[in-house]
Amino acid sequence: MSKLRNRYTSQVDVEEVLLDASNIPAFNRERMEGKRELPISNRSVYTIGAIFTIVALVFIGKIYNLQIVKGEEYATIAEHNSIAKALIIAERGVVFDVNDEMMVWNEVDESGEYDFPIRAYTDRLGLGQVLGYVSYPKRDSRGFFFRTDYLGRSGVELAYDDVLKGKNGSKIIEIDALHDVVSEHAIEAPTEGGAIKLSIDAELSEAMYKIIATSSAQAGFRSGAGAIMNVHTGEILALTSFPSYDPEVMADGDDTALIKEYNNDDRLPFLNKVVGGAYTPGSIVKPFVAYAALNEGVINEHTVMYSNGSITIPNPYNPSNPSYFNDWRAHGKMTVREAIAFSSNVFFYIAGGGLPEIAVPQAGLGAPLEGLGITKMSNNYRLFGMGEKTGITIAQEQAGVVPDPEWKREVFDDDWRLGDTYFTAIGQFGFLATPIQMLRAYAALANGGTLVSPHVVYGQIGETKELNLNQAVLDIIHQGMRKTVNFPGGTARALERSDVAIAAKSGTAEVGVGNAYVNSWAAGFWPYEEPKYAFILMMDKAPRSNALGATRIMGNVVEWMSVNRPEYLGIETETEE
């Protein structure tokens, strides 16, 4: 009995547990059949049991702590954080140029700062003011969005924000007690913003920008701007303003040093000078004075005047103190066509303000000439859209100033005089115009008398207003502008070409204290026979000694187009068969 007890209390053989006892006699134990070498000792059994007991106690302790001690706390956390509704920021629309080149698009933020798409902008130069930039959605200190949309700040991003912005979606997020996301489930998918195709040719605009920038450095201009517009639709083909800025820098907002540099730059890189810059236009207003003078019968196409370099208006109250009104050179005899081509100040002084009897004989006239007068002249300027906004939306626009007696009384509390009329006739005195105003006005000259609102959306036609111009008179203006380019002594000879006929007008406006600086302008259209595009180019504030004018700079732009965009000039190119 003791053997049996010892056998079952000191060790447990495996076969006694796992093997069928009825088969045990069949094993040959001498050959180790049916018997395991390593029996399980009681100590091992007790040890394993103890380990399981300890583990069980630990789990019970944890369960007690979670459910009893801290149960209420964790229940509250679970109730508030296990399920949350979150915003899905919608992607903003993409912006393309006229050739389907992406100018603005969306990218994943590789830095991880934003968990929504960020805006990426073209690396092409000179498009900052056109494209503009955005401010991103913002979170508060607790991680909740207090601004849920991209905010267009300027340019296309602001003007067409309603098209570009999408509709945000929402999702359900499951979060554990440690605030880790367990799963996400979209319940309302976001709607992507609409794409916009601009009429702008990005490469042409960049080329114009580089030419303006190089010319500014060469001649000492402070800044410059230019644009080209379809005279029938109002579509802007090219638009640039120098200097510009990088819209991606402004959207990100991280490069504070560069942003500060932008803000402190007295050349105003944030200003779209084509739309928002108002400048003294100078002689580019002369074709409009010529139109009014011809249309009102003040002169005719055969009227001849003579410029010896100035006219003198005697002072009846003080004969020793006459007024001198200078031409920029002595032009000799000329009709209105040559007067436009030579940009004669004397001719337009008299056509605009007249020649009083006290000043006869001068300018080859044997009798007084009444002139347009300031009322008719200012009304004619306004007919062509000067002194008012064009309605373009890509930048804050200025209305400019067309001087008249009421304006002078309000600003200077003074009477209007003949000299004021003379200077207004050549685009000086208080005259201020934006390049986009003058571009629209020249487009109206080119297309036969339709004032078209400029815009930057491909395929759209701007609002139109019929001016009911006298076509016979308009033909004379066209001829004078063509002579400006191809006639000896014309002031825009730099635009003469054999591959395209251009009609143009140059302008030089004196600015600054003591007229120490000049603004240089070039305006016109092509092709001369069937105009399609009008252009404007303005170079701001160069020393008077500068010999580089806007017409030569615009000539460089046209030369670039003849090589890279001949189709815009109507130049036929050989195609491979």
CATH architecture, domain defined by 202-569:
3-Layer(aba) Sandwich (3.40)
CB 161 within 8 A of CB 417: no
pLDDT bracket for residue 87 (50, 70, 90):
confident
Size (the chain), residues: 577
Same fold, 83-197 and 202-569: no
Higher pLDDT, 411 or 22: 411
Helix and strand element counts for the chain (H, E): 20, 24
Q: Sorting pLDDT into bands at 50, 70 and 90, what band is 243?
A: very high
pLDDT bin (cut points 50, 70, 90) of residue 171 is confident
Q: How confident is the model at residue 19 (pLDDT cuts 50, 70, 90)?
A: very low
For β-strands 95-96 and 83-88, DSSP reports them as unpaired
| 297/302 Cα distance (integer angstroms) | 12
pLDDT of residue 577: 45
Distance CA 179, CA 103 (A): 40
Cβ contact 479:490 at 8 Å: no
d(CA 555, CA 142): 58
Q: Taking the domains of the chain in order of start, what are their residue ranges?
A: 2-80, 83-197, 202-569
Cβ neighbours of 396 (radius 10 Å) = 12
DSSP string, 367-378: S-B----HHHHH
Confidence band, pLDDT 50/70/90 cuts, at residue 187: confident
Answer yes or no: are the C-beta atoms of 157 and 272 closer than 8 Å. Answer: no
Residue 308: pLDDT band with limits 50, 70, 90: very high
Higher pLDDT, 23 or 492: 492
Q: Which amino acid is at 234?
A: G
% of the chain with per-residue pLDDT over 70:
87
Are β-strands 196-197 and 95-96 bridged in parallel, bridged antiparallel, or unpaired? parallel
Q: Does the pLDDT value for residue 467 go beyond 90?
A: yes
User: Is the per-residue pLDDT at 511 higher than 90?
Assistant: no
DSSP string, 467-531: ----HHHHHHHHHHHHHHHHSTT-TTGGG--SSS--EEEEEEEEESGGG-EEEEEEEEEE-SSS-
The answer on pLDDT for 23 being more than 80 is no
* pLDDT-derived band at 574, boundaries 50, 70, 90: low
Class for the domain spanning 83-197: alpha beta
Amino acid at 378: S
Structure-derived torsion over alpha carbons of residues 102, 104, 109, 110, reported in degrees to the nearest 10:
40
Which residue would you say has higher pLDDT here, 125 or 572? 125
Helix (H) or strand (E) holding 83: strand 83-88
Within 8 A by CB and 6+ apart from 528, the residues are 478, 482, 501, 502, 503
> 3-state DSSP call for residue 113?
coil
Residues 6+ apart with CB under 8 A from 533: 228, 229, 230, 231, 237, 525, 526, 568
- DSSP assignment letter at 65: I
C-beta neighbour count of 571 within 10 angstroms = 15
Quote the crossing angle between the two packed helices 435-447 and 471-486, to the nearest 10°: 110
Are 325 and 385 in contact by the 8 Å Cβ rule? The answer is no
Split at pLDDT 50, 70, 90, the class of 576 is very low
For the record, the structure tokens of 528 come out as: 């001369």
> In this model, does residue 277 exceed pLDDT 50?
yes
Q: Which residue has the tokens 């050349």?
A: 267
d(CA 390, CA 286): 20
pLDDT in tens, 352-406: 999 999 899 899 998 999 999 999 999 999 999 999 999 999 999 999 999 999 9
φ/ψ of 84, rounded to 5, equals: -140, 150
| Displacement of CA 90 from its chain's centroid (Å) | 23
The pLDDT of residue 72: 72
Backbone phi, then psi, for 213, in 5-degree steps? -65, -45
Q: What pLDDT is recorded for position 476?
A: 98
- pLDDT value of position 453: 98
| pLDDT level of residue 480 (50, 70, 90 thresholds) | very high
Q: How confident is the model at residue 496 (pLDDT cuts 50, 70, 90)?
A: very high
Give how far Cα 172 sits from Cα of 86, 148, 182, Å.
Answer: 6, 17, 11
For residue 575, CA distances in Å to 63, 561, 572 come to 83, 18, 9
Question: Does pLDDT of 44 surpass 80?
Answer: no
Query: What is the per-residue pLDDT for 34?
Result: 52
Candidates 465, 405, 449; CA nearest to 429 is 405
* Degrees, nearest 5: CA angle 138-147-153: 90
- Identify whether 247 is preceded by a cis peptide bond (ω within 30 of 0): no
Q: Mean pLDDT score of the chain, rounded to an integer?
A: 89
The alpha carbon of residue 374 and the mean position of all alpha carbons in its chain are separated, in whole angstroms, by 37
